[in-house]
Amino acid sequence: MEVFTSLTNSGPISVYVEDGKVVRIRPLAADESDFRPWTIEADGRRYSPPKKFTVAPYVLTERDRLYSEDRIRYPLKRVNFDPNGARNPEERGKAGYERISWDEALDIVAGEIKRVQGTYGPAAVSAMTSSHHNWGLVGYKISAFARFFNMIGYTAVVDNPDSWEGWHWGATHTWGFYWRLGMPEPYDMLEDALKHTEMIVFWSNDPDTTRGVYTGYDSAIWRQWLKEKGVTMVFIDPFHNYTAAAMGGKWLAPRPGTDTALAMAIAHVWITERTYDQRYVAERTTGFEDFKAYVLGQTDGVAKTPAWAALETGIPVRTIVALAREWARKRTMLAAGARGGEGGACRTAFGTEWARMMVLLQAMQGLGKPGVGIWGTAMGGPRDNSVWFPAYGDPDGRIAHSKVARVRPENPVTQRLYRPIVPDAILNSNISWLGEGFCNRSLDQQFTPFSYPMPGHPEVKLWYRYGGSFMGTMTNTSKWVRMYQSPKLEFVVNQDCWWSSETGYADIILPACTQLERDDIGEWGEPGGQSKGGSSGCNFRVVVRMKKCIDPLWESKSDYQIFSLLAQRLGREEDYTEGNSDIDWARKFFEISDLPQRISWEEFERKGYYIINVPEDYRATPALRWYAEGRTCDTPDPNNPKRLTDKGHELGTDSGKIEFLSQSLNRRAPDDNERPPVPHYLPSWEGHRTAQAARYPLHLISPHPRFSFHTHYDKHAAWLDDIPAHRVQKDGYAWWPARLHPSDAAARDIRDGDIVKLFNDRGTVLCIAVVTERVRPGVVHSYASSAKYDPLEPGKAGSPDRGGCVAILSPDRMLSKNVAGMASNSCLIDVAKWLLGRGP
Amino acid sequence: MTQYRMLIDVSRCIGCYNCYLACRDEHVGRDHRPLSAPQPESGHKWMAIREEERGTYPKVKMAHIPVPCQQCAEAPCIKAASDGAVYRRGDGIVVIDPDKASGQRALVEACPYGAIFWNEALSVPQKCTFCAHLLDSGWKEPRCVEVCPTQALVFADADDRGSAVVKPDSVRSAETLHPEFGMKPLVEYMNLPKPCLVGEVSFGDQVQVPAEDISVFLRRGDHVRIAVTDCFGDFEFDNLEAGAEYQLKIEQVGYRAHELRLRMQTDLDLGTIILDR
């Protein structure tokens, strides 16, 4: 038996191989002597993590997923696609496939790239990845993939900040942090909370489910410590989420989309009872008087009282008052979204306003003072930030952009597409939007206008899809089916390890191997770049040599090899590879990092990992303490542009302070009444006050899933189908659960375990009903990110999907008129029992 | 002599299913004979998670209760087996010999905990072995315990006085799942959910004011427990006895006393109790 090391997007693993077959996947079994756990002292107790790595559940299904029936085994061609004859694009999603050789497949793909680029220009090729279907500096999407497409030139697809829209488009204008895309620095908040925090308000945040994004379950023990220490816990979420289940405490379930009203009422209590930090507001913020006038109703005649908010939110007045008073009385941490940032409430209509209010509420209580921060509870453990290792978000952590490459090809094409509206662009042409997706360079970047097609540029004719699917994650996703069947797309490629929801819409399918079948390197949990310090959600920083554990299965090849072979056919192989194999690249990343000062390549190669322990003399610098105390920034936040300048004590807003009246919004869009300079509560454009509510009285919320990562692992790891919180087996099919309250179920004659249809004008999705007290009446909870798009009539847009892609139902209207974000959680539906065999 | 024990703290279980999936990884398609035959692709729950939802909206509690084979000292499966197919090792682990137990479907019914599963393809009853094949080769704990993020599962040799399971504070509150079965399991629990009584107090004359710091008395015979409402006006009595009768009383100066009798069957949410003048 041989044991290899590897790293997933949610934890490091040891991979046991016997006779060329993986037989066991275990959290990385490091030598006990390699762990030197940190200790935090608080209230006379010492807190120290166990000497181990705790992975996310789905990581333990890697063996199942590796050998899944869903692996793409061979290169395939759609049976009725002929590159030299009839292409039959309308058959995409309907027709079957035939096996072809790699040579045939690569010849067709390379030939089509040449033909399309020769005929229309490089911009007629576009390519799109999904997030994190693998890990590793060589294999990650903006590495091998980006190097290839930058080299040949293409219309790049800009990502929307889909998991934290409101923070990106809203909170940035309140507290800066645009270099973190609106989310706060995470540093040392665990120590701060253990020492000082008396209450935690989890607002639209389920860290036990979203786990600090990539950091597995390492932070679960932190929350146990806080619970056992007696910290009061409050949960604000229409769903009694898993963190609430684990922690206990008070559950408040506002009507979806009304969180901002609740926040306004809390501010109203503090203002009228003078229980806010008046000195902090005077010294560290601007525009408070304008905000106060709005809250008190002096500008619009509506005082944002608890009684007013009770009507909107459905939460009793006395409960709102009690929360506001307790919050002011206790040193309170606001756990708003997984990173302090994210959360379903920021993915609603006008979700910018909620995110801004989260910052402003804490500003009213002295944001940055001991125990008073914005911290999701899943990052911010002690971390030695002095040791540098590149991460995929750092230019140096990708073969596309890193100094490890001799040449870093720049994409010559300036035309862009925008992920949530790619189908609209293909189907309708002439679309426009504001902001370059992830706007990490300035506040103004959010106002850059884009249009497609860009003047002088062709429309996209060749679509290259790589890893994963959007059917379960974007909005109103039936339009992706219509896009694929459009004759405007002359050629479609799909390159993936598994059959995903969009795979069967391609003309040519290329089988990629998983990361267990190739070489790579990476640090656990660290995205770098705009999420610098993300691995502070891990109890131990660890860099892993991701070993090729077995040969690629069937005829699959590594993504890097596939792109190398395509480059060869385009006469660019040397440009692409510079003579490097994947392991050569991995070693180059190691060599530019700080690790060679601590361990030799040979020793690293032998052990397979290196733990960067926290030094004995580690000194905590809690996030924003410097700001609260008027000092210059002392946190290791390298992308903060004011740090180390004479404005080092300032935030990244125009004024350098927290802005109740946003100066950047006032400067760029003073008349925008949907994201006004002073945050407002606006009832959703699809919600309890709109006309659709008469026909579709239930409100669907679809937060990030618990047992898969985006669409990864679901469907491809059958073991997960036996976890009832993930899928429920009935009549030989693993159904996606939709949770609804007993009163809503009874009104529709629905019983627990019934197959039901969730429907509105955008589509129909079949789920299994879970009747539970854990959702607010009037709300249906069903996780986003089903990986199984399984329409009853394959290839027919709008046909009921029994796979559970509830994103089909969500609106594709932009979050507000100048905010190109998606609002999945502003979604009205109804639910009815599905009578099998009777049709919709 | 080695005596294995597992201690499960239900209050620390977050329902992540890591234990369940690690068990799959260790056993699906993996032959560890003579201790265990391969677990099938689906259907078996050698480490089952019982999900208990308690209470009513918006006062809800969740308990996740991991239930592996309890490794009973008075194991009914041993008695039910023929040909000595089920035996108890010196370290306490109960083993179903996959070869001898072939065809003995009755073993599935013999277990009152529902911890034995029938493998249709192999025609053999199967269950958790505490990963005995790993323990025998030097591992310190089964796979499920290794992957538990919160130390809800603790495993040790009870003969080792320094181990976590025999710490005095643990032992004091440890209990068995379904003691009424009388099976004397090696697996012990802490904080198993017991009937719970919750409610909210509100003032009839000022419904918008939180009713904080109000004493709520719960009497059973001569024994009185007191809960004080929190900032929201909520109170809670946990760990009540199923089937027992209680008297609840709320007294607040200036308001009429509120009294009621109740019999606890399961969890009870009294909703909002309004105090009138």
Here the CATH number for the domain that contains residue A707 is 2.40.40.20
Same domain, B254 and B185: no
Contact A722 B43 (CB under 8 A): yes
> From CA A186, how far away is CA A168, in angstroms rounded?
16
Task: Select from B15, B42, B202 the Cβ nearest to the Cβ of A721.
Answer: B42
Residues of A (36-55) whose Cβ lies below 8 Å from B: 50, 52, 54-55
Same domain, A210 and A148: no
Contact B15 A775 (CB under 8 A): no
Structural domain including B166 reads 4-190
Q: What are phi and psi of A359, to 5 degrees?
A: -65, -45
pTM: 0.97
Q: How far apart are the first and last CA of chain A?
A: 53
Q: Is residue A495 part of a domain?
A: yes
Output the domain CATH number for residue A453.
Answer: 3.40.50.740
**Annotated catalytic residue, options A16, A70, A132, A519:** A132
Cβ–Cβ contact A229 with B under 8 A: no
Which pLDDT value is given to residue B172? 62
**A221-233: average pLDDT:** 97
Q: Is residue A660 part of a domain?
A: no
> From CA A628, how far away is CA A650, in angstroms rounded?
10
Shortest distance, CA A603 to any CA of chain B (angstroms)? 25
CB A469 within 8 A of CB A495: no
Residue in A25, A52, A272, A319 to test binding to B, most B beta-carbons within 10 Å: A319
Chain A residues within 8 A of B26 when measuring between CB atoms: 24
Residue A708 has pLDDT above 70, yes or no: yes
Cβ–Cβ contact A321 with B under 8 A: yes
Instruction: Take residue A688 and report the two structure tokens written for it.
Output: 């309890």
Residues of A (279-298) whose Cβ lies below 8 Å from B: none
Same domain, B72 and B178: yes
**Annotated catalytic residue, options A178, A214, A276, A392:** A392
Shortest distance, CA B262 to any CA of chain A (angstroms)? 22
Task: Select from B15, B56, B212 the Cβ nearest to the Cβ of A245.
Answer: B15
Model confidence at A50, pLDDT cuts 50, 70, 90, reads very high
Same domain, B65 and B124: yes
Same domain, A726 and A805: yes
Which pLDDT value is given to residue A133? 83
Shortest distance, CA A514 to any CA of chain B (angstroms)? 18
Cβ–Cβ contact A325 with B under 8 A: yes
Residue A840 has pLDDT above 50, yes or no: no
Residue in B150, B229, B235, B236 to test binding to A, most A beta-carbons within 10 Å: B150
Cβ–Cβ contact A466 with B under 8 A: no
Please report which helix (H) or strand (E) contains residue A385, including its range.
Answer: none
Output the domain CATH number for residue B219.
Answer: 2.60.40.10
Same domain, A101 and A215: no
Same domain, B140 and B67: yes
Q: Is residue A618 part of a domain?
A: no
Same domain, A311 and A451: no
Contact A221 B233 (CB under 8 A): no
Chain A residues within 8 A of B24 when measuring between CB atoms: 60-61, 64, 719
A551 is catalytic: no
Cβ–Cβ contact A35 with B under 8 A: no
Same domain, A120 and A220: no
Chain B residues within 8 A of A50 when measuring between CB atoms: 151
A557 strand-pairing partners? A512
A401 is catalytic: no
Q: How far apart are the first and last CA of chain B?
A: 68
Same domain, B186 and B214: no
Closest CA to B6 of B110, B115, B103: B115
Contact A54 B147 (CB under 8 A): yes
Helix/strand/coil percent split, chain B, to 5? 15, 35, 50
Same domain, B228 and B150: no
Contact B57 A774 (CB under 8 A): yes
Same domain, A462 and A408: yes
Closest CA to B45 of A245, A68, A721: A721
Q: Which one of B137, B167, B190 terminates a domain?
A: B190
Cβ–Cβ contact B267 with A under 8 A: no
- Report pLDDT digits (tens) over A489-499: 999 999 999 99
Cβ–Cβ contact B21 with A under 8 A: yes
Nearest residue in B to A62, CA atom: B25
- Report pLDDT digits (tens) over B239-252: 999 999 999 999 99
Instruction: Take residue A327 and report the two structure tokens written for it.
Output: 């919050």
Same domain, B230 and B139: no
Q: What are phi and psi of A328, to 5 degrees?
A: -75, -30
Please report which helix (H) or strand (E) contains residue B117, including its range.
Answer: strand B117-119
Which pLDDT value is given to residue A341? 86
Count of Cβ atoms closer than 10 Å to residue A219 Cβ: 28
Same domain, B58 and B34: yes
Same domain, A698 and A810: yes
Same domain, A222 and A143: no
Structural domain including A222 reads 188-382
Give the dihedral sign, CA A218/A222/A228/A233: negative
**Annotated catalytic residue, options A162, A496, A519, A754:** A162
DSSP state of A409: P
Q: Which one of B143, B165, B190 terminates a domain?
A: B190
Closest CA to B111 of B27, B17, B48: B48
> From CA A627, how far away is CA A530, in angstroms rounded?
20
Chain A residues within 8 A of B48 when measuring between CB atoms: none
- The half-sphere exposure of A165 on its side-chain side, counting CA atoms within 13 A, is 26
Shortest distance, CA B31 to any CA of chain A (angstroms)? 11
How many CB pairs below 8 A link A and B? 144
Nearest residue in B to A234, CA atom: B232
Q: What are phi and psi of A522, to 5 degrees?
A: -175, 165
Same domain, B122 and B154: yes
- Report pLDDT digits (tens) over A618-670: 999 999 999 999 999 999 999 999 999 999 999 999 999 999 999 999 999 99
CB A482 within 8 A of CB A798: no
Contact A240 B60 (CB under 8 A): yes
Contact A719 B12 (CB under 8 A): no
Model confidence at B160, pLDDT cuts 50, 70, 90, reads confident
Q: ipTM of this complex > 0.95?
A: yes
Three-state secondary structure of A665-683: HHHHCCCCCCCCCCCCCCC
Which pLDDT value is given to residue B170? 54
Same domain, A408 and A475: yes
Contact B53 A325 (CB under 8 A): no
Q: How many domains, chain A? A: 3
Instruction: Take residue B23 and report the two structure tokens written for it.
Output: 């068990």
pLDDT above 70 covers what percent of chain B? 96
Q: How many domains, chain B? A: 2
Cβ–Cβ contact A326 with B under 8 A: yes
- Report pLDDT digits (tens) over A586-623: 999 999 999 999 999 999 999 999 999 999 999 999 99
Same domain, A202 and A276: yes
Chain B residues within 8 A of A25 when measuring between CB atoms: 25
Instruction: Take residue B222 and report the two structure tokens written for it.
Output: 């001569």
Model confidence at A132, pLDDT cuts 50, 70, 90, reads confident
Same domain, B80 and B125: yes
Please report which helix (H) or strand (E) contains residue B168, including its range.
Answer: helix B168-173
Same domain, A375 and A259: yes
Same domain, B22 and B128: yes
Cβ–Cβ contact A776 with B under 8 A: yes
Mean pLDDT, all residues of chain A: 97
Chain B residues within 8 A of A318 when measuring between CB atoms: 202, 207-211, 232-233
Model confidence at A339, pLDDT cuts 50, 70, 90, reads confident
Cβ–Cβ contact B213 with A under 8 A: no
A162 is catalytic: yes
Contact A217 B149 (CB under 8 A): yes
Same domain, B94 and B166: yes
Residues of B (246-265) whose Cβ lies below 8 Å from A: none
Q: Is residue A20 part of a domain?
A: no
Of A164-168, A427-431, B13-17, minimum mean pLDDT range: A427-431
Buried b (16+ CB within 10 A) or exposed e, B170-206: beeebebbeeebebebbbbbbbbbebbbbbbbbbeee
CB A393 within 8 A of CB A522: no
Cβ–Cβ contact A3 with B under 8 A: no
Q: Where are the alpha helices (DSSP H) in A686-769?
A: 692-695, 742-747
Q: Which one of B129, B160, B190 terminates a domain?
A: B190
Contact B51 A725 (CB under 8 A): yes
Q: Is residue A330 part of a domain?
A: yes
Same domain, A698 and A804: yes
Residue A740 has pLDDT above 70, yes or no: yes
Chain B residues within 8 A of A52 when measuring between CB atoms: 146
Q: Which one of A480, A514, A548 terminates a domain?
A: A514
Query: Which amino acid does the sequence have at B208?
Result: Q
Contact B53 A774 (CB under 8 A): yes
Residue B163 has pLDDT above 80, yes or no: no
> From CA A735, how far away is CA A754, in angstroms rounded?
10
